[in-house]
Amino acid sequence: MPRSASRSFSRMVRGVAARRSAHSWRSNLTYRSAGVTRRSSGSTGRTLGRSTPTVKDGGVTSRGSRSERRRLGAYYTPPALVDLLVREVLLPWCETSATPPFVIDPACGDGRLLEAAGRAITERYGIDPAPFLVGVELDDTTAAETERRLGCRVLRCDAREVLGAPEYSHAFDVVIGNPPYLSQLSTGTARGGSSRLGGGPYADVAAEFLALAPRLVRSPGGRVGLVLPMSVLATRDVAPIREAVERAARIDLCWWADESMFDANVRTCILGFVVGDSAVPNGVRRFHGPDARPIDPVRHEGLATASWGWLVADVVGIPPLAIGSGHGLLRDIAIATADFRDQYYGLVGAVGDDVDGPPLVTSGLIDVAQCRWGTRATRFAKVRYAAPRVDVSRLGSALQAWARTRLVPKVLVASQTKVIEAVVDERGEWLPSVPVISVVPHDAGDVWLAAAMLTSPVASAWIALQRIGTGLSAQAIRVTASDLAALPLPADRTAWKDASDSLQNGDVYGCGRHMIHAYGLAHRADLYDWWEQRVNGSRERSG
């Protein structure tokens, strides 16, 4: 942003802040008394929203070419969610104040959220809302159109670069927005490296807006409401941002839908926060589904904390769970590793049904405690095989070295399933395909203990809570090597050993029951039932 624009914006922020304290805004405030020069036509004190919005398809799609919208993350908010944000984030703030809120949308697009906020402000305070509304928009044309249409200030810049400056710190009362979702896994939208606002390399750009928002509002009492990709609830690279936000604010509101609400293939949630307020009156207010119907509030009662999965766990159908790490973690007894493209491409050309060498085990061949190699066909590198083996002599020297590290006693874990599916390779005879995870115990004698832990109901529920919203569907558990490594060890070694014996004897359910004891959760029939049902479902599917 040009320096002059930045200065004029800061002046405007300071000016409105000063006017807020000097006036009683309940009096009939006009544009002129607020000291703002109108930029568009229309009479003083008009309500917003009479111009034609740049929206099609019931408010779900927006302007611009497909690639341009993808680059900007310009997928506009559907009306039901606009209403929810205004009703449940802005209006509660207004309930407590005789003066109108100063509202910012840091990624305002066509200004629909500001427009709705403006209408609510006019209704409550009887004033022209434009001086209280500020938008930020990266796209020049969109910013100019929105500024003209709403008559409020729209700053043309990258919100992440500008709003972190000290002059915007705590300058507003309410942040509402639907920031761009720009996946860091896609080359077209990747930022290239860690976020300067606190997240890791894979933190979506939307998470950077989440990091920024609480810093923009006054404390205590400022409110934030953002439409976000559901993955922010649990993605590991967003964890530092979640922690920072939780230190600054209380989660007050959560909405989500199981279906996509935008014409982008992404599941979304709305999170609302009250800044500088630690009181938890009735838990987090929750709304669910496309029609945002209210459902029971939820409290954070010592559940697994690395993610915000607890906000939705009961509805998604995952039992709540609290286990400590006081007895160590899986990484204390084993190394969990996922292989990547080097191994995948390195194996191409060395795999065949008619070659000699170790069996190649794909994710699709792994069921709960059963490896289907040789009895079920599978695909590798787009080719179907009945019983694929790897001719190790055809691998390059680096891949041969890799194969030697994998041909050891280990547990192989499938990547995305309803419960964790793990199989034991006791003699170290199989090679994993990508993206199978290898769990190699430091002591080969622990291989069944490691497998029992991974096969337990506790592990499945724990991983599901960590990673809620990051799998392909609401029900899928996305397993990563680092999550497995961080799985807490059970306290009761005797019950753990019983579980591993059961597993070794082919009794998966006995293993599950003993492991629940091993974690001191014998009273949790719900946990066992949840897991058993999923195990049965996955066994029925795989015949």
Ligand X SMILES: C[S@@+](CC[C@H](N)C(=O)[O-])C[C@H]1O[C@@H](n2cnc3c(N)ncnc32)[C@H](O)[C@@H]1O
The reply to whether 117 sits near ligand X by the rule CB under 6 A is: no
Preceding omega of 435 cis (within 30 degrees of 0): yes
**Among 142, 195, 307, 417, which residue interacts with ligand X (rule: CB under 6 A)?**
142
* Sites for ligand X among residues 83-112 (CB under 6 A): 105, 107-109, 112
- Reference 327, options 458, 203, 189; nearest CA is 458
* By CB under 6 A, residue 138 contacts ligand X: yes
- Tokens 């407590």, residue located: 96
Stretch that binds ligand X, among 46-54, 173-181, 236-244, 278-286 (CB under 6 A): 173-181
363 part of the interface to ligand X, by CB under 6 A: no
Q: String of b and e for 103-126 (b: at least 16 CB within 10 Å)?
A: bbbbbbbbbbbbbbbbebbbebbe
* Residue 356 found at the interface with ligand X (CB under 6 A): no
174-177 and 153-156 strand pairing: unpaired
Cα distance between residue 435 and residue 338, in whole Å: 6
Number of residues that bind ligand X (CB under 6 A): 23
Q: Which residue has the tokens 């205590």?
A: 220
CB 337 within 8 A of CB 437: yes
- Residue numbers 282-321 binding ligand X by CB under 6 A: none
Neighbouring-strand partners of residue 390: 351
Which residues touch 540 (CB under 8 Å, ≥6 apart)? none
Dist. CA 125–CA 173, nearest whole Å: 15
Judged by CB under 6 A, which stretch of 7-15, 133-141, 282-290, 374-382 contacts ligand X? Answer: 133-141
Residue 243 Cβ vs ligand X, minimum distance, rounded to whole Å: 23
Task: For residue 55, list its beta bridge partners.
Answer: 62
Under the binding rule (CB under 6 A), the answer on residue 73 touching ligand X is yes
- Residue selected from 130, 159, 254, 447 as contacting ligand X according to rule CB under 6 A: 159
Find all residues with CB under 8 Å of 527, minimum gap 6, and list them.
319, 321, 457, 458, 461, 516, 521
Show Cβ contacts of residue 509 under 8 Å, excluding neighbours closer than 6 positions: 532, 535
Instruction: Rule CB under 6 A: say whether 139 interacts with ligand X.
Output: yes
Cβ at position 410, least distance to ligand X in Å: 44
CB of 181 to ligand X, least distance (A): 7
- Of 23-31, 154-162, 367-375, 512-520: span binding ligand X (CB under 6 A): 154-162
Q: State the minimum distance, in angstroms, from the CB of residue 298 to ligand X.
A: 26
Site membership for ligand X, residue 76 (CB under 6 A): yes
The full length of the chain comes to 543
User: Is 9 a residue that touches ligand X (CB under 6 A)?
Assistant: no
Q: Is 357 in the site for ligand X (CB under 6 A)?
A: no
Nearer to ligand X, 15 or 164 (CB): 164
- Interaction between residue 232 and ligand X (CB under 6 A): no
Of 118, 129, 177, 214, which lies in the binding site for ligand X, with binding defined by CB under 6 A? Answer: 177
Amino acid identity at 443: D
Question: Which residues contact ligand X (rule: CB under 6 A)?
Answer: 72-77, 105, 107-109, 112-113, 136-139, 142, 158-160, 177-178, 180
